[in-house]
Amino acid sequence: MTTTPPTPAATAVPLPAPHDNRCPFSPPPAYTEAARTSSVSRAELPDGSPCWLVTGYPEVRTVLSDRRFSADARHPAFPLFTPERRELFAENPSFIRLDDPEHARLRRMVTGDFLVKRVEAMRPGIQEIVDETLDRMTDGATEADLVGSFALPVPSLVICLLLGVPYEDREMFQSLSRTLLNTFAGVGEISRANDELLDYLGGLAAHKKEHPAEDILSRLAARDDLTLREIAATGILLLVAGHETTANMIGLSTVLLLDRPEQKAKLADPAALPGAVEELLRHTTIVHTGLPRVAVEDVELDGTLIRAGEGVFAMLSTANRDELMFGGEDRLPADDVDLDRDARRHLAFGFGVHQCLGQPLARAELQIALGTLFHRLPGLRLAVPHSELVFRPDSVVYGLKSLPVAW
């Protein structure tokens, strides 16, 4: 058993580690290598402070579901790429960075909006949004940027409707969201973006208190046990998580499938769509920088002692490539896409009490968007060489900056 605390040793894995440009769909080689030798490795944050990298499937599940690990970013040892952001979390925490019972109190105010049954009832509406967005994209054109004309508009329109945010304001909130998710944005830039979004959503909520409509912000505004700041912080979380994630999944999944015509052909069967989307979620794991937590008690993890007050990153990407979990004799290796794989045990949505609240919605959006895209545009292809695709390694949510396609 290792009992020494993590020190910035020469072998520490630098976080966040760079992707290998030659295989942009694989986790950074530094993580894969660390995962090969141990499920818990030493790592180092950009400011030189030590933390742990947890890469094994069972260990990632433990970190995310064991109460001895906290998600409260106000903890002085909570691992952050830019520690200056701690103040931002302290001022306006949203529930993704709080522990129970505070987390549960706020999360439960919106869990009713994302019931599996409720999202199933939204499917015709989502289908309509997908159809209309494709109509606009293809109208008189044979080429487009799929990110800007399809992948981003679809989930943005859906979350705007649900929250009660005017879609006309998309350029503002899409650009501010990108700043918030940028790993290396300066603290001044981040805090301006955060303040702007807080003011914007706070203003909307105040308006809806007087003029309620059928949406989440109106319902939250009508409660007397929430402050306007709390509503705005929840609003930012739902708005940002609600569009950036699905958008990037659509973009990356499209490239993966265009590269694999034999896999793409399987989408022709509507019954194959749900399983295919689970496999794409697993393989892509867009939350590629891992989930940060801090140990609040000593924990032994696969023979390594993690002490109270030490930070850890739970790496969903390496856990999701675990050959024991996802491989199998009749399956392609876990490093490849195999739409016939049973990928339901993937951790792309996290694990534990913070597991993605929007997952039923994300599943429905991805099934409908990808199913419809390939059905309506059977000749869809990349309009630039593969090597010219521009990825976004500097974002917490991995993806493509743009995706030029033709059909």
Partner 1 sequence: MQVSVDRDRCCSSGLCALNAPEIFDQDEQDGRVMLRQTVFRPGQFADIRLAGELCPCGAITVTEGVSPADGTADAQAGTGS
- DSSP character for 37? H
Q: Which is nearer to ligand HEM, 16 or 350 (CB)?
A: 350
Residues 295-334 binding ligand HEM (CB under 6 A) are: none
Q: Which residues of 73-110 are buried (b: 16+ CB within 10 A; e: fewer)?
A: bebeebbbbbeebbebbeebbbbbbbbeeebeebbebb
Is 107 a binding residue for ligand HEM by CB under 6 A? The answer is yes
Which does residue 360 touch among partner 1, ligand HEM, none (CB within 5 to 8 A, set by kind)?
partner 1
Taking CB under 6 A as the criterion, the residue among 251, 290, 311, 358 binding ligand HEM is: 358
Q: Which is nearer to ligand HEM, 2 or 26 (CB)?
A: 26
Residues 260-289 binding ligand HEM (CB under 6 A) are: 286-287
Q: How far is the CB of 53 from partner 1 (least distance, A)?
A: 22
Residues 29-88 binding partner 1 (CB under 8 A) are: 64-65
Residues 136-175 binding ligand HEM (CB under 6 A) are: none
Which does residue 287 touch among ligand HEM, partner 1, none (CB within 5 to 8 A, set by kind)?
ligand HEM
Beta bridge partners of 301: 304
Q: Which is nearer to ligand HEM, 44 or 99 (CB)?
A: 99
What is the H or E stretch that residue 346 is in?
A: none
**Type of residue numbered 209:** K
**Type of residue numbered 178:** R
The residue count of the chain comes to: 407
- Residue partners of 223: CB distance under 8 A and separation at least 6: 109
Question: What is the Cα–Cα distance from 332 to 328, expressed in whole angstroms?
Answer: 8
The three-class DSSP label of residue 355 is: coil
- From residue 403, alpha-carbon distances to 62, 122, 252, 373, 389 in Å are 37, 28, 9, 14, 7
- In contact, 220 and 208? CB cutoff 8 Å: no
Q: Are strands 13-14 and 40-44 parallel, antiparallel or unpaired?
A: parallel
Considering only 28-36, 263-271, 350-358, 385-393, which stretch makes contact with partner 1 by CB under 8 A?
A: 350-358
Q: Which is nearer to ligand HEM, 49 or 65 (CB)?
A: 65
Number of shown-chain residues binding ligand HEM (CB under 6 A): 23
Question: What is the Cα–Cα distance from 151 to 125, expressed in whole angstroms?
Answer: 16
**Type of residue numbered 173:** F
Which does residue 288 touch among partner 1, ligand HEM, none (CB within 5 to 8 A, set by kind)?
none
Residues 173-232 binding partner 1 (CB under 8 A) are: none
Q: How far is the CB of 348 from partner 1 (least distance, A)?
A: 12
Which does residue 82 touch among ligand HEM, partner 1, none (CB within 5 to 8 A, set by kind)?
none
Which does residue 238 touch among ligand HEM, partner 1, none (CB within 5 to 8 A, set by kind)?
ligand HEM
What is the H or E stretch that residue 145 is in?
A: strand 143-145
Is 375 a binding residue for partner 1 by CB under 8 A? The answer is no
- Residue partners of 199: CB distance under 8 A and separation at least 6: 232
Q: Are strands 50-54 and 143-145 parallel, antiparallel or unpaired?
A: unpaired
Considering only 6-14, 121-129, 240-248, 328-336, which stretch makes contact with ligand HEM by CB under 6 A?
A: 240-248
Considering only 69-77, 106-114, 187-195, 390-398, which stretch makes contact with partner 1 by CB under 8 A?
A: 106-114
Is 350 a binding residue for ligand HEM by CB under 6 A? The answer is yes
Is 357 a binding residue for partner 1 by CB under 8 A? The answer is yes
Burial class (CB in 10 A: 0-12, 13-18, 19+), 127: middle
Which does residue 96 touch among ligand HEM, partner 1, none (CB within 5 to 8 A, set by kind)?
ligand HEM
**365 token code pair:** 């959006």
Question: What is the Cα–Cα distance from 344 to 282, expressed in whole angstroms?
Answer: 8
Is 242 a binding residue for ligand HEM by CB under 6 A? The answer is yes
Question: What is the Cα–Cα distance from 399 to 247, expressed in whole angstroms?
Answer: 8
Residues that bind ligand HEM (CB under 6 A): 71, 95-96, 107, 237-238, 241-242, 245-246, 249, 286-287, 291, 348-350, 354, 356-358, 361-362
